[in-house]
Amino acid sequence: MTQTPAAKVAAAADALLDWLQGPSSPTARRTGAALPPDVALPDPAWPDMAWPDPPPTAPAAPVLPPVDPPRWPPDRPGPGADTHAAPAQAAPLRLAHPDWLFHRLTVTGPADRVAALQAAAAGAGVIPWALDLDRLAEDFFHALVAPPPPQQRSLSLAGARILADQLCTAAAARHALAVARVGHSRVCPFDLHALLPVPAALLRGGPNEPAALAWLWTHWGTTEALRHVRSLTAAVPAPPLRAGEGAFRVSFWSADWTPWRALAQLAEQWPALRFTPQPRYDAA
């Protein structure tokens, strides 16, 4: 039997509604799949034919781009990486206020090689950074005019500026005295800058430059010079030594991390020696 135009439209609408209510239709619509081949759309030449609205459906959830889960430990530049090219991607693990960890380090091996390392490790214990004195003065000024709570400002703006300049001058003089000892003083028995010196180009940028911090993390495993480095006396128990061996033992405090990358490089440079760090979290 020949169907009338109205019957054709009604049949097409029923077939479309069945398809819309099927389990595969949302996916088909999101991916732009074609309608089933047996569904005939109304002829656009019939302007008086009203196309039935589909049943109301809940709006589809937005499709979000995939996000990779955070990595731990985060990726860090390896030795020889170009830290100048992308300093933002090479930001090391560094706390605003370092957590200083106590360590004891024992280096053992042939006595002559231990003595050679001990001689090479002695230095001033200072990283000779170039300071940005203008920035340092501004940091002092802002700390004085806006002290952290619960402290309250007790200086006028003019007084804070004068005191900030005085503090900057004193800090610059003290830093200059410390830097002048680099290459001459041997008061520090285990100086990382003497063993693995920071490149001069990075020293000129100062201690807060991302490239300098990335270099320290990559080559030292910590972002500050070691502090309170002391040679351990014979009164501190030491492991037994083999015949012909010597031992070099120091204690120090390192910022946030054991200087594990420095020790790994030193172990490669001095293959006859054994480096044994002992972090102590309960010692002072």
Give the per-residue pLDDT at 35.
41
What are the Cα distances from residue 218, in Å, to 90, 123, 204, 259, 278?
9, 21, 18, 10, 21
Give the per-residue pLDDT at 264.
95
In angstroms, the CA 249 to CA 230 distance is 9
- Say if CB 102 and CB 280 are below 8 A apart: yes
- Of the candidates 126, 225, 223, which has an alpha carbon nearest to the alpha carbon of residue 175? 126
Give the per-residue pLDDT at 7.
60
In angstroms, the CA 26 to CA 23 distance is 7
- Of the candidates 217, 263, 216, which has an alpha carbon nearest to the alpha carbon of residue 104? 263
Q: For each of the chain's 284 residues, which pLDDT tens digit applies?
A: 555 555 665 665 565 555 555 544 443 443 344 444 444 444 434 434 444 444 455 444 444 444 344 343 444 444 444 444 434 444 556 777 788 999 999 999 999 999 999 999 999 999 999 988 999 999 999 989 888 888 888 889 999 999 999 999 999 999 999 999 999 999 999 999 999 999 999 999 998 899 999 999 999 999 999 999 999 976 566 677 888 899 999 999 999 899 999 999 999 999 999 999 999 877 55
